[in-house]
């Protein structure tokens, strides 16, 4: 009898712990709008914030690592198809040191695209906000900067474009 009661208490306790974990949502699900991040620009002095986003354009926020092969591949595919992103503003953010960000920018010639902003999340705000586990991470926002969807991991060009109805 005593073992049965002890086992029941243990099962109920463990179940309660798992139930609490399931109910914990990352902040981006609780606040489904573009996050109030302060991102360091490559000049190492200026910051990019929500106020700097274009007013009537949807936004793709991509969190990446310059060393991530999937991130590199997606950047190659995206830059090769920039004509399909003409009405999308792209913010690419990393926590990597600035020299790595600058090398990535140079390798993929990202300065030639007016609709791409490359920046550094030096405070790890976005990575916490999205509860990031894997690279790349994509968050898609409509023209009002409301969250459309978010994906962790690689995405095909078609799947990315479909988030904006293209």
Q: Which architecture characterizes domain 26-162 according to CATH?
A: 3-Layer(aba) Sandwich (3.40)
Is the CB of residue 137 less than 8 Å from the CB of residue 71? no
Q: What is the DSSP letter of 39?
A: E
Q: Which two tokens stand for residue 40?
A: 């360091």
Report, as an integer, the average pLDDT of 31-57.
Answer: 96
Number of H helices, E strands in the chain: 6, 7
How far, in Å, CA of 155 to CA of 78, rounded? 11
Helix, strand, coil shares of the chain as percentages rounded to 5?
A: 40, 20, 40
pLDDT per residue over 11-33, tens digit each? 344 444 444 454 688 899 999 99
pTM: 0.84
């Amino acid at each position: 009898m005593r073992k049965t009661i002890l086992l029941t208490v243990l099962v109920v306790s463990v179940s309660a712990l798992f139930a609490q974990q399931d109910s914990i949502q990352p902040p981006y699900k609780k606040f489904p709008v573009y996050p109030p991040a302060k991102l360091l620009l490559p000049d190492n002095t200026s910051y990019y914030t929500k106020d700097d986003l274009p007013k009537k354009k949807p936004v793709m926020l991509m969190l990446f690592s310059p060393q991530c092969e999937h991130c590199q591949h997606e950047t190659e595919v995206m830059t090769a198809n920039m004509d399909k992103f003409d009405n999308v503003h792209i913010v690419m953010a990393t926590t990597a040191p600035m020299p790595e960000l600058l090398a990535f920018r140079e390798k993929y010639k990202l300065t030639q695209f007016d609709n791409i902003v490359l920046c550094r999340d030096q405070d790890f705000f976005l990575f916490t906000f999205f509860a990031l586990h894997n690279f790349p991470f994509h968050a898609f926002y409509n023209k009002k900067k409301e969250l459309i969807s978010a994906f962790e991991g690689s995405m095909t060009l078609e799947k990315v474009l479909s988030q904006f109805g293209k």
